């Protein structure tokens, strides 16, 4: 059975952070998220893999300038 898609609030609850943090991580840390209309949707498997790979670590967030250099 395919993994279900979850909302920003469900991901925030899963990780124990605020919804605003999720939006910041989408922007600055390449959190795996998929836009469906005007909503962001996620799969816990992708989120958990991203966290394990250090995506939510304490490293400084990328700025728009650093994204351009990649």
Domain spans, the chain: 1-53
Instruction: Over range 10-15, report the average pLDDT.
Output: 98
| Per-residue model confidence as pLDDT tens digits over 44-65 | 999 999 999 998 887 655 555 5
pLDDT-derived band at 26 (thresholds 50, 70, 90) equals very high
Give residue 69's pLDDT.
41
Give residue 56's pLDDT.
83
d(CA 10, CA 64): 27
Q: What is the CATH number of domain 1-53?
A: 1.10.1660
Tell which phi-psi region holds residue 16, choosing left (phi > 0), alpha (psi between -120 and 50) or beta: left
Q: How many CB atoms lie within 10 A of CB 54?
A: 10
pTM for the full model? 0.77
């Amino acid at each position: 059975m395919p993994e279900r898609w979850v909302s920003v609030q469900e991901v925030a609850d899963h990780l124990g952070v605020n919804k605003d943090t999720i939006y910041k991580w989408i922007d600055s840390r390449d959190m795996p998220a998929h836009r469906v209309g005007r909503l962001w949707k996620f799969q816990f498997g992708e989120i958990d893999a991203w966290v394990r790979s250090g995506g939510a670590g304490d490293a400084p967030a990328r700025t728009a300038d650093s994204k351009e250099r990649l």
